[in-house]
């Protein structure tokens, strides 16, 4: 019998300590250490051990002598997933998908598994029975005889089934439900998550089999378990959205094989998730006429240009201190833009309540939305509508200058494709669009008061 001992683990970063401590020396968080019982590994403990031969020690090689191998990505029928992964599934990659309960993580991965008829897929669930997975598959309505399901929480038995089946793609739903016999703590604990993920990572790299992991999130919205989990995997995807709304956003937060800021948008329907090919159309609401306080921003998410509706409401403060409330936009940046409008534009906003909303449930961090936000607030303050055929793509500086933003040509072409008649940009973006012909009118300005004069007179 192996010696059994206990240790303390930080729930935030996964650091280990032989005794309890109030403040974690690794991440600086307080009261995050919990005690877990650990059993040293048995010589006969089951794990992924299908090695091609005896273990050999690695030797250093000169980088120019390392053989470069072109990896052929696996293209799925889901173009949104291909985009956020950087062009398809990389063989041997470990992908972690996190999101709130009921957001559609299991539905998304089962749908992807069913859409790969040429690959042998093993879908392992520790939360549902085979019959429940079958019910979801029938609801999705895709038939695939090459998709196998397994209801299991012991990772040793999972690997036994993998050795027999030899799948070409593995889905684990979820990593928090798996447990290993090497660790005596309960499933979902830090040591269990770390051990199971390490075994799956070893399997993925040795067999060149892509593995998808579903991860739960905690109350702060971060993926539950040790922070080292996100460091171990190759790609981290966040599945976002309001469960009461139909649209879902798949966002890349880490990707070793592509851009780490890509975005995919889905619509939740009765038969599963539908790809939204042109998200700009759903992010701009359909109205009978122009309404004050609304402006369209030409933003960029990863390599994808999006036209997003900015809604603003400015009214006199009647309850003491003026309120500054924003949904989907940084509140501190909103305060900065209000100060610029007051100082450089001459608008008295210090006694006004300001409410800002980014339509569609998106969270904006693109500075190109600054000009649209300013115009929406002025439109609401002066009760003058901004034409729905006009959009904006520029950053606003503290001096009231209109600053250029990157990829301005892609933003202009997206606005042109959607039928906009004019787009307001910085005059310092002239070099980026010089020599290019657009059907849309490109209006260039250097100061914010010039845009206000041209737009509102």
Q: Is 100 annotated as a binding residue?
A: yes
Q: Is 99 annotated as a binding residue?
A: yes
The SS3 of residue 358 is: strand
Largest CA distance in the chain: 85
Q: Which region holds residue 218: left if phi is over 0, alpha if psi is between -120 and 50, else beta?
A: beta
* Cross-strand partners of 94: 211
Q: Two tokens at 421?
A: 């008649």
Tally of CA atoms within 13 A in the half-sphere of 75 that contains its CB? 2
**Where does residue 332 rank: exposed (0-12), middle (13-18), buried (19+ CB within 10 A)?**
exposed
Say how far apart CA 429 and CA 447 lie, in whole Å: 13
> How far are the Cα atoms of 3, 84, 171, 197, 266 from residue 48, in angstroms, in the given order?
23, 29, 16, 11, 35
Say how far apart CA 351 and CA 196 lie, in whole Å: 57
Please name the residues in contact with 321: beta carbons below 8 A apart, sequence gap of 6 or more.
Answer: none
Whether 433 and 405 have beta carbons less than 8 Å apart is answered as no
Where would I find the H helices in 120-218? Answer: 130-140, 155-165, 190-207
Whether 267 and 360 have beta carbons less than 8 Å apart is answered as no
φ and ψ at 114, to 5 degrees? Answer: -75, -20
Q: Is 104 annotated as a binding residue?
A: yes
Say how far apart CA 353 and CA 56 lie, in whole Å: 68
Q: Report whether the peptide linkage leading into residue 174 is cis, meaning its omega lies within 30 degrees of zero.
A: yes
Say how far apart CA 146 and CA 143 lie, in whole Å: 9
Say how far apart CA 341 and CA 443 lie, in whole Å: 20
Q: Is 101 annotated as a binding residue?
A: yes
Whether 190 and 143 have beta carbons less than 8 Å apart is answered as no
The SS3 of residue 307 is: strand
Q: Is 105 annotated as a binding residue?
A: yes
Annotated binding-site residues read 99-106
Annotated binding-site residues for ATP read 99-106
């Amino acid at each position: 019998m192996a010696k059994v001992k206990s240790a303390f683990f930080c729930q935030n970063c996964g650091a280990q300590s032989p005794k309890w401590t109030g403040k974690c020396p690794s991440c600086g968080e307080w009261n995050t250490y919990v005690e877990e019982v650990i059993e040293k590994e048995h010589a006969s403990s089951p794990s992924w051990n299908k090695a091609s031969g005896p273990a050999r020690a690695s030797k250093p090689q000169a980088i120019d002598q390392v053989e470069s191998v072109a990896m052929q990505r696996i293209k799925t029928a889901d173009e949104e997933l291909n985009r956020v992964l950087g062009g398809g599934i990389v063989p041997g990659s470990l992908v972690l998908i996190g999101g709130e309960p009921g957001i559609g993580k299991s539905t998304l991965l089962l749908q992807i598994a069913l859409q790969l008829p040429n690959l042998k897929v093993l879908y392992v669930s520790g939360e549902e029975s085979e019959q429940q997975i079958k019910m979801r598959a029938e609801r999705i309505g895709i038939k695939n005889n090459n998709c196998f399901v397994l209801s299991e929480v012991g990772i040793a038995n999972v690997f036994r089934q993998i050795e027999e089946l030899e799948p070409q793609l593995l889905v684990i739903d979820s990593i928090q439900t798996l447990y290993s016999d090497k660790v005596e703590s309960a499933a979902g604990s830090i040591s269990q998550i770390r051990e199971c993920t390490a075994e799956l990572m070893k399997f993925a790299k040795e067999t060149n089999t892509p593995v998808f992991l579903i991860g739960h999130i905690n109350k702060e919205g971060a993926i539950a378990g040790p922070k080292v989990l996100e460091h171990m995997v190759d790609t981290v995807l966040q599945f976002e959205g309001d469960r009461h709304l139909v649209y879902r956003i798949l966002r890349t937060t880490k990707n070793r094989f592509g851009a780490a800021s890509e975005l995919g948008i889905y619509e939740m329907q009765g038969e599963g998730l539908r790809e939204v090919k042109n998200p700009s159309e759903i992010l701009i609401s359909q109205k009978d006429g122009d309404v004050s306080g609304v402006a369209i921003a030409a933003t960029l998410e990863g390599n994808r240009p999006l036209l997003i509706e900015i809604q603003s409401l400015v009214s006199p403060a009647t309850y003491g201190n003026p309120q500054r409330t924003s949904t989907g936009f940084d509140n501190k940046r909103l305060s900065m833009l209000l100060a610029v409008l007051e100082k450089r534009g001459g608008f008295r906003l210090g006694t006004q309540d300001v409410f800002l909303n980014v339509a569609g449930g998106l969270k904006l961090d693109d500075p190109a939305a600054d000009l649209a936000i300013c115009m929406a607030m002025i439109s609401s303050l002066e009760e003058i509508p901004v034409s729905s055929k006009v959009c904006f793509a520029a950053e606003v500086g503290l001096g009231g200058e209109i600053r250029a933003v990157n990829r301005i040509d892609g933003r202009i072409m997206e606005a042109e494709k959607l039928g906009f008649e004019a787009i307001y940009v910085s005059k310092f973006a002239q070099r980026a669009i010089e020599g290019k012909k657009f059907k849309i009118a490109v209006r260039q300005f250097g100061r914010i008061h010039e845009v206000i004069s041209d737009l509102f007179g």
